[in-house]
Amino acid sequence: MYKLKNTAVAVMLVTGLFSAQQIFAKTVKVTMTAMEVDLPVNNKGDVKMAAWTFDGSIPGKPVRVDEGDTVDFTLINPPENKNSHAMDFHAAQVDVLNEFGEIKPGQSKHFKFEAKTPGVFMYHCGASTMAQHIAKGMYGMIIVDPKDKKNYPKADREYMLIQQQYFPDSENITGLLENTGWKGALINGKMFHYSPVHDPNATQVLESKPGERVRIFFVNANINNPVALHPIAGIWDRVYINGNPKNTLYGIQTYNVAVAEGSTFDIVSPADRPTNVAIVDHAMGAALRGAITVLMNKPDADPKKGRGDQILIR
Ligand SMILES: [Cu+2]
C-alpha cells in the first residue's frame, strides 16, 4: 500500500511537470509577404539590386522562439509579384513538398511546426531556382533559444549577422551556379554595413562595454562559399555549433561556417580598457569586399544596442 501511494505521488509529480512544460510552450504567429523590390546594397545607397525579399528588407525579420514553441507561419505572395516563392525554415521537421512547396503570385500558404531543436537556423525561399531566390535576398534567421541554460552563460549583448555573396547579375543563373561574377559580401544586406573604417558612408557599428559578453548569432547565406569567421584582435570565447550549447567549442580563433549553417559566437573583450574588434570573413575576397564588422568596446556604449529589437541593426 505504502509503495503504491509513493508511485501514485511520483506519477502525479511527473504529470504535473509535463503539463507545466505544455503550459509554458507557446504558439508564435509569423506572417511574411514576398516582395520584389529594388534595394541598395551599399551604405551610400547608389548601388541597387533587383531584390526578392521577405517583407521588403534584406535579411527578412528575425524570428525568435523558445525551444518547444510552435511557429504558426503564413506566407503571402501578392498578385503584383512576377515569381513563385516559398519558405524553408531550417528549424522545422516537415515535408519538403508540402509545407516548403512554392506558391504562385496571388496565393498564400499556412503551416505550423514545433521548434524542437535549439539553435540558430537559416530560413530562406526555396522556390526554383533556389540559388537565385537566395542571391536576391530571400533569407533570414530563426533563433530557437535553448531550454537548458547550463552551458550557456547569459550574454550582455546580442547581435545578429547574416552574410551573403553579392551577384550584380542575379539573372545569370549559370554565373550563380558556377560561382562567377560575385562582386562583394553583404552583411545584413549591405557591404561594409558596420565598418566606418572601410566605408565613410557607414554610420553604424556594434557596441558593448569593456568586459561584456557579446553574443553573435551568425548565418552564412552565401550560395556557394563557406565563411572563415574571425574576430581580428580577439578570440572567440565560445563557439556554439549550430547555436546549440550542447555543441560548444572554447578559445577559437577562426571557425568555418558552412553554407546554410547558423552558429553562435561569444566574445568577451578586456575589461580594463576600451578596444575595437573587426569581425571578418578571413577569406580576403569576402573581407575586402564587404565582410568586415566593427565591434567597439567602450565605456559609453549605447545601452539600447544589442538588446531587444536592436539585436538586428538596420
Ligand atoms: Cu522566392
CA of 107 to the centre of ligand 1 (A): 13
pLDDT per position as a tens digit, 7-25: 555 545 555 555 555 568 9
Question: Do 68 and 52 touch, CB atoms closer than 8 A?
Answer: no
Among residues 182, 234, 232, 211, the alpha carbon closest in space to that of 41 is found at 182
Q: Which residues lie near ion ligand 1 (Cβ < 5 Å)?
A: 85, 125, 127, 133, 138
- State which CATH number among 2.60.40.420, 3.20.20.210, 3.40.50.20, 1.10.10.920 fits the domain covering 25-145: 2.60.40.420
277 burial via Cβ count (<10 Å: 0-12, 13-18, 19+): buried
CA of 85 to the centre of ligand 1 (A): 4
pTM, to two decimals: 0.92
- Say what the pLDDT of residue 292 is: 98
Q: Which three cell numbers stand for residue 230?
A: 574571425
Residues 6+ apart with CB under 8 A from 61: 32, 54, 55, 140, 312
Q: Give me the residue spans of the domains in the chain.
A: 25-145, 157-306
CA distance 92 to 195: 34
pLDDT per position as a tens digit, 110-143: 999 999 999 999 999 999 999 999 999 999 999 9
Residues 6+ apart with CB under 8 A from 162: 59, 139, 140, 141, 187, 188, 218, 219, 220, 221
Same fold, 25-145 and 157-306: yes
User: What are the distances in angstroms from CA 265 to CA 91, 115, 139, 210, 308?
Assistant: 19, 21, 20, 17, 18
CA of 52 to the centre of ligand 1 (A): 6
Q: Which three cell numbers stand for residue 281?
A: 570573413
CA of 103 to the centre of ligand 1 (A): 9
- Say what the pLDDT of residue 22 is: 55
- Say what the pLDDT of residue 24 is: 83
- Say what the pLDDT of residue 17 is: 52
CA of 158 to the centre of ligand 1 (A): 28
All residue ranges of the chain with pLDDT < 70 are 1-23
CA distance 306 to 127: 33
The total of other beta-carbon atoms located within 10 Å of residue 195's CB is 22
Q: Which three cell numbers stand for residue 310?
A: 536592436
Find how far residue 233's CA is from the centre of its chain.
24
- Say what the pLDDT of residue 1 is: 44
Beta-sheet pairing, 236-240 with 27-40: unpaired
The CATH architecture one would assign to domain 157-306 is Sandwich (2.60)
